[in-house]
A = this chain, B = another copy of it.
Amino acid sequence: MIPRLWRFSIRLQKHPPLHYFQSSPFSKVANGKTCAIIDGKSIAKDIKSRVADEINKMKNCIGKCPGLGIVLVGKREDSNTFVRLKLRACQEVGIASFLEQLPEDCSQDEVFDVVSKLNDDPDVHGVIVQLPLPQHLNEDKIVEIVSPEKDVDGLHPLNIGMLAMGRDPLFIPCAPKACIELLLRQGIEIASSRVVVLGKSKISGLPVSLLLQSHLATVSTVHACSENPEHITRQADIIVSDVGIPNMVRGHWLKPEAVVIDMGAKQVKDPSRQRGFRITGDVCYEEAIKVVSAITPVPGGVGPVTISMLLSNTLESAKRAFKFT
């Protein structure tokens, strides 16, 4: 475990002592510069281990465990993969999972019924609907009928509203919560930093902007209509990207010593891989590590921490339901 003070030095010192980076398996040296590779996998492992400990304690004390209901519609390959990862993560920490699968052509009412059933089930403390949904379904309306008290994805308008207003929502969306966790564990100072968030999706970009703002960052949101995005990103101490365009953010978009949190994760064809593709982020990694002081890799950065935040939110919900502290 890297001492917090050292991790903090990544941002504060222009020339951090080389021995730290050289001894860390999570740093890269390029062009004489060092760049810390923020290790999402190990952070996720740590969070999961704490969640598992708390669930064990809960089981021993009150004989109960948290439950997560997952609604999966259709057969999208990426959605299937995400759901599988979530189910496996639940199993690892001792959360009971309830998977509700619906066919691609199901009706809005069928989804409503399944969500309502999970809302009413006392063994279920978190309800999530795997997004995106097939086009014929109204995603907004479906997310809205998830009970705000079980909305462990934090995407209900009431929870987003509380987040926007700087109040404590019942749940903070998982990916944005993961970004903050990654920054804090890396010792990055968020308050008063200039942050540029690329993208304003309801699931990630928007709530991460709101969350960073509630952490007192000075946030600019750049999107498809923004002119000269690279001019804006070059002013940022922290760049959070949620665009979904592989390698869009080039090295010259970044300020030297900035910190990059890459939320993008797209499949890019790669015949050299057994699966025929590799997962690629929004930020051109090989260029970025020559410029910035710290970066999350893709895969292995934001992704694993996001899943661990889902487990953490589900535990939180169960503790609230059982009045277990």
Contact = CB atoms under 8 A, between A and B. Distances in A.
A249 to B, nearest CB: 16
Interface string A37-75: 000000000000000000000000000000000000000
Interface in A219-246: 219-223, 225-227, 232
30 contacts: A140-B165, A140-B167, A156-B161, A157-B158, A157-B161, A157-B162, A157-B164, A157-B165, A157-B167, A158-B161, A160-B164, A161-B161, A161-B162, A165-B202, A165-B206, A166-B200, A192-B226, A194-B232, A200-B213, A213-B221, A216-B223, A216-B225, A218-B220, A218-B221, A218-B223, A218-B225, A218-B232, A219-B220, A220-B220, A220-B221
Interface residues of A, number: 31
A29 interface: no
SS of A interface (majority): mixed
Interface string A150-174: 0000001111111011110000000
Contact of A219 (B162, B164, B166, B221): B221
Nearest to A191: B225
Nearest to A217: B225
A319 to B, nearest CB: 23
A225 B166 CA distance: 15
